[in-house]
Amino acid sequence: MKLTHFKDGNPEMVDVSAKAVTERIAQAESFVHFPAAAWKTLEENGFTTKKGALLHTASLAGVMGAKKTADLIPLCHPLPLTSCKLDFEILDHQIRVICTTKTTGQTGVEMEALTGANVAALTIYDMCKALSHDIRITDLQLVQKSGGKKDFKR
């Protein structure tokens, strides 16, 4: 297997000009885990904190993060996202963050989905850290992607 972002031992942005323009879709997830007391407080307050509506704010932050991926990851191509959607699943003492990104282009949107899921999770942490510093963000991973050379589904 060959790494694509190195040439002669130096980092290099991949030239995608010869690739076909296709619809690219990616989905990533992360999990935010809460201690029992913090979770109870969140539930009692309808998942609203002093900083505002938790999931609404995290959704906006995730979209903003996905749009800024090329500014954060040095070798990522700047992509015009055609869609970025954040979903949240309330589980037992945890929130599953799901970020789905789309574009029509010559390279995939996996990094944008991963960044969006991560920034949304970080925003949840930031908005809830007054309740506990024992909140954990775990299992950031690509769930699926399609539209490039090969599709992937976990």
- In tens, the pLDDT along 16-67 reads 988 889 999 999 999 999 999 999 999 999 999 999 999 999 999 999 999 9
Q: Which fold has domain 26-149?
A: Alpha-Beta Plaits (3.30.70)
Tokens standing for 66? 């996905």
Catalytic site includes residue 15: no
Average pLDDT taken over every residue of the chain:
94
Of 14 and 78, which is predicted with more confidence?
78
User: Mean pLDDT: which of 16-20, 74-78, 134-138 is highest?
Assistant: 134-138
Measure the CA–CA gap between 28 and 87, rounded to whole angstroms: 11
Domain ranges of the chain: 26-149
Binned at pLDDT 50, 70 and 90, residue 96 comes out as very high
Burial code of 110-126, b = ≥16 C-beta within 10 A, e = fewer? bbbbbbbbbbbbbbbbe
Of the residues 8, 15, 87, 126, only one is catalytic, namely: 126
